[in-house]
A = this chain, B = another copy of it.
Amino acid sequence: MRLLVLLTCLLAGCLAQKPHPCESPPLLTGALTVSTQNEKLWTYGRYVYDALGQRIRLMEMGTYENKSVTYDLLALYREATVYEISYHNRTCKKKPLKTNFQPLAIPKDATLLAQVVLGSSSGPGEGLLVNTWTGDLPDKTGKYINTVTEFGCIPIATSYQTSEYGWAVTSFYNNVMGIEDPGLLNPPDFCTDAEMMEPTDFLSLFHGKHWQSS
C-alpha cells in the first residue's frame, strides 16, 4: 500500500513538473527545411550535427530569389572554418567562421510560451508532447521562437526575426540520435588544398542565430 502511494506521488510529481530549458542530444542526423516569411529563400535537405566535435554538415537544395540553389556546407567550429563543397565540380571554398559553436539548446533565460500536444493524446502514436519557448535574440534585433520535444529535447522548429527576410523558420524532421555517416563530418580529399577566402554573409541564414557563423 505504501509503495502504491509512493509510486502515485512520484508519478504525480513527474507529471506536475514544469518544462525546463534543455539541450538537444549532442549527436543528431536528420532533415530540415529553411524558409523565410518573404519567400526569398526555401530550401530542404539533410544535416549532421556533432556538438562533441563542434561540427555541422548541411546539404540543402531549394530556391533563393526564385533561382535554384544547392548548398553543401561543412562547418568546423574548432578550426574556425566553413567549407562550401561541390562534389559535382570537385571544388571546395574554405572560409573563416568567426563565431563560437552554439549547441542546439533552449537558452536558460527563455520563456515558456506553451506546452502542447501536436496531434492527439487520445490514441497511441497519434501525438507528440512539445514545448515552445521564446526570448530575445542575443543581439536584441528581434525574437526567437523554438519548439522542442518534451522527451528528448529533439528540435521541431526554430524561428527568428530578421530585418531582411521577416521570420526565418527552420523545421527539423526525421531526426535520429547519432551520426549515420561520420565521413560527412570530414572535408573531402579535394578540399585539402583549398585556400582561405573572405567570408560571405548569405550563409548566416543557415547557420542562423542558433548555429552562428559569419
Interface on A for B, CB 8 Å cutoff? 28, 30-31, 37, 116-130, 149-152, 154, 156, 173-178
Within the oligomer, what is the number of copies of this chain? 2
Is the beta-carbon distance between A116 and B31 smaller than 8 angstroms?
Answer: yes
A118-B156, A120-B154 known; 20 new pairs, CB 8 Å cut-off, are A30-B120, A116-B174, A117-B174, A118-B128, A118-B173, A119-B130, A119-B152, A119-B156, A119-B175, A120-B152, A121-B174, A122-B176, A123-B177, A125-B128, A125-B151, A126-B152, A126-B154, A127-B128, A127-B149, A127-B175
Give bound CA distance, A120 to B122, whole Å. Answer: 20
Q: How far is A151 from B151 in the complex, measured between Cα atoms in Å? A: 20
**Inter-chain contact B149/A117, CB cutoff 8 Å:** no
Q: Which of B28, B37, B119 contacts A128 (CB 8 A)?
A: B119
In the complex formed, the residue of B with least CB distance to A175 is: B120
Complex formed: what's the CA distance from A85 to B118 in Å? 28
Complexed CA–CA distance, A30 and B122 (Å) = 11
Measured between beta carbons, the chain B residues less than 8 angstroms from A177 are 120, 122-123
